[in-house]
Amino acid sequence: MRHFLVLLAASYAGAAAGVWWFSGFVPWFLLPDFPFLSIVFAGLFLPGPMGFLAAIPPALFREITSSAPPWTFFLASLALYFVSREIALRLFVRVEYYILATVVSLLLAESLSIVGLMLLAGSRPFSFLWGAQEAVRIAWTGLLAVPLFMDLSMRWRGVRE
């Protein structure tokens, strides 16, 4: 239950701060996607139904705070949870560089899928500035994930022992 409450609080606080900062104080690409990080953490570190239940509120926060067609980000976030769950079950090693590579690859895959969907819808989202902003967002969120995930996993592993 503690895992669920911590991830709920972190994803809500991150989403709320992101929406507040979106109002003009900090550019969107400098803000880490805390609901994304919560979903990936739940997939990588929380076993069984507790991980799935902990991924639902951040998925809802992403859906509410994004300007996408209905249920797009919610379903994409649940798919992200299941992909990170498969990575945890088959490939995951709890080393810093592996956490960074996992989070960055998931963010990159999500960005490419959004670009693909925008292209299929007929819009042209490409520009050099957009690509640079997306690269900064991916790097910043990935680098933040390493100490955050390592600290939380070490604390919860210590509590279990």
Tens of each residue's pLDDT in the chain, 161 residues: 777 788 888 888 888 887 777 767 777 778 888 889 999 999 988 888 989 999 999 999 888 887 777 887 888 889 999 999 999 888 877 778 888 888 999 999 888 887 777 777 677 766 788 788 888 888 888 888 888 888 877 776 665 55
Element (H, E) at 74: helix 72-90
The pLDDT of residue 157: 67
CA–CA separation, 102 and 46 (whole Å): 16
The pLDDT of residue 122: 72
CA–CA separation, 150 and 35 (whole Å): 17
Give me the residue spans of the domains in the chain: 2-160
The pLDDT of residue 133: 84
CA–CA separation, 99 and 128 (whole Å): 28
Maximum Cα–Cα distance across the chain: 54
CA–CA separation, 126 and 111 (whole Å): 12
Amino acid at 14: G
User: Cα 102 from chain centroid?
Assistant: 11
Q: Is-above-0.75 flag for pTM?
A: yes
Total length of the chain: 161
The pLDDT of residue 60: 92
Contact indicator for 59, 81 with CB cutoff of 8 Å: yes
**Two tokens, residue 79:** 């798919």
The pLDDT of residue 56: 93
Residue 149, helix vs strand vs coil: helix
> What are residue 149's phi and psi, to 5 degrees?
-65, -40
